[in-house]
Amino acid sequence: MVIPQLGWGSPTTIGAITRFLKTEPAIQKLNFEFNGAKIWPAAYTDHVVNALSNREVLCAVVSDVEDGAGGAYNPEVDVFKVKYGFDIQKIEDQALTIHELTHAFLDIRAIAGLATITCEAICYLAQATFLEVNGYDPKGNVTNILVTAQSIARNTIIPGRYKVSSGEVGALEAAVKANPLYAGKASELFLSNGFTRGTKANFNRATFTQVFKW
């Protein structure tokens, strides 16, 4: 069964998302260390796929996402939210999925003291690498971030140099900070706590009734 998308786009299932994660060739290029945090292909093909399959991470369809984004990951309730019309066959929604499920992986890792700006930079670098490998230019209200991230992807990630230099880390984090979406968030921490949820979080999680089916 799938959630009807009100005619705004093709329906997507969890199975379609996990197949994308397990078979998309560009994911094999997502192998880097950024300021101590490590990303590698199995983060998506194994760890995130397992979390989705076990329903530890839910995918929910919502009418609106904060800041006008196409999607978001909430580490408190472990939910990947997308807007109606989301279609995993579209390159822009594939890139969105890479970004948000990188957040999910960083949440799974339960990294203490991970700054929100650093977390966003890592996710944008994964997204930009995916776009670069597939030959797509960045668009939208985060173009300034993705342009910087794609330069790092071309020079470091795609050639397989693995460790992102301190200069590249600084440049990408500065691009994130400069974007109005992240104004005032320089000192915030990302809630990376695995699947630890209290009573309130479980209650809030239960309100996401429109979740993707297999």
pLDDT 10s digits, 21-42: 999 999 999 999 999 999 999 9
Q: Is the pLDDT of residue 16 over 50?
A: yes
Mode of pairing for the β-strands spanning 58-62 and 79-83: parallel
**Token output for 31:** 């192998």
**Per-domain residue ranges for the chain?**
14-206
Classified as helix, coil or strand, 188 is coil
**Token output for 52:** 């989705």
Task: List, for residues 50-81, the tens digit of each pLDDT value.
Answer: 999 999 999 998 887 877 678 899 999 999 99
**Residue 5: what residue type?**
Q
- Residue 8's pLDDT is 37
- Residue 98's pLDDT is 98
- Residue 140's pLDDT is 82
**Residue 59: what residue type?**
C
Question: No. of H helices and E strands in the chain?
Answer: 8, 5
Residue pair 110/193 in contact (Cβ under 8 Å)? The answer is yes
Average pLDDT over residues 9-13: 66
Average pLDDT, the chain: 91
**Residue 11: what residue type?**
P
**Token output for 139:** 């668009």
The dihedral over CA atoms of 53, 55, 61, 65, expressed in degrees to the nearest 10, equals -110
6 pLDDT band (50/70/90 cuts)? Answer: very low
CA angle, corner 110, sides to 109 and 116, nearest 5?
100
4 pLDDT band (50/70/90 cuts)? Answer: very low
* Residues contacting residue 53 through CB under 8 Å, at least 6 positions apart: 14, 18
Q: Where are the alpha helices (DSSP H) in 84-165?
A: 91-108, 116-133, 143-152
Of 33-42, 140-149, 203-212, minimum mean pLDDT range: 203-212
Dist. CA 60–CA 84, nearest whole Å = 10
Percent of the chain with pLDDT over 70: 94
Average pLDDT over residues 153-158: 98
Q: Is the pLDDT of residue 191 over 80?
A: yes
- Residue 1's pLDDT is 34
Average pLDDT over residues 96-125: 97
